[in-house]
Amino acid sequence: MTSEGSAHARFRRALEAGTPLMVRAAAAELQRVGLDGALAICVVFLDGEPDSFPRAAARGVARLTLEQPVALTDANLSLASLGALQHANQRAGAEA
């Protein structure tokens, strides 16, 4: 372990800093990013690298459907909620 801590700690700090480049680098060090981490990455991209947000959101929902028993309607709601974050209705997307 380096003086900077574990890869997971660096990832958390990168998310807190909200810098997409730092988040990408820290995530690359991890063997696996959990679903909560994937959502946090989407939020960082939404603020700092909006062109990368749609792909990150789609990948997050795809992972959700592969890793969890999710009904199709819930997968659709997840994707729509992330889409709302990208547009004018950010509050509704965050609440959903």
d(Cα 96, Cα 84) in Å, to the nearest integer? 9
Q: What is the predicted pLDDT for the residue at 11? A: 96
Quick check: is 84 in a domain?
yes
Whether pLDDT at 60 is above 60: yes
Average model confidence (pLDDT) across the chain: 86
**Rg of the chain over CA atoms, in angstroms?**
14
Give the mean pLDDT of 84-96. 65
User: For residue 21, what are the domain limits?
Assistant: 7-95
Quick check: is 56 in a domain?
yes
Quick check: is 64 in a domain?
yes
Q: What is the predicted pLDDT for the residue at 63? A: 86
Quick check: is 2 in a domain?
no
Number of domains in the chain: 1
Quick check: is 1 in a domain?
no
Whether pLDDT at 12 is above 90: yes
Q: Give this prediction's pTM.
A: 0.78
d(Cα 16, Cα 89) in Å, to the nearest integer? 23
Q: What is the predicted pLDDT for the residue at 27? A: 94
Q: Which helix (H) or strand (E) holds 59?
A: helix 53-67
Residue 89: pLDDT band by 50, 70, 90 thresholds? Answer: low
Q: What is the predicted pLDDT for the residue at 9? A: 95
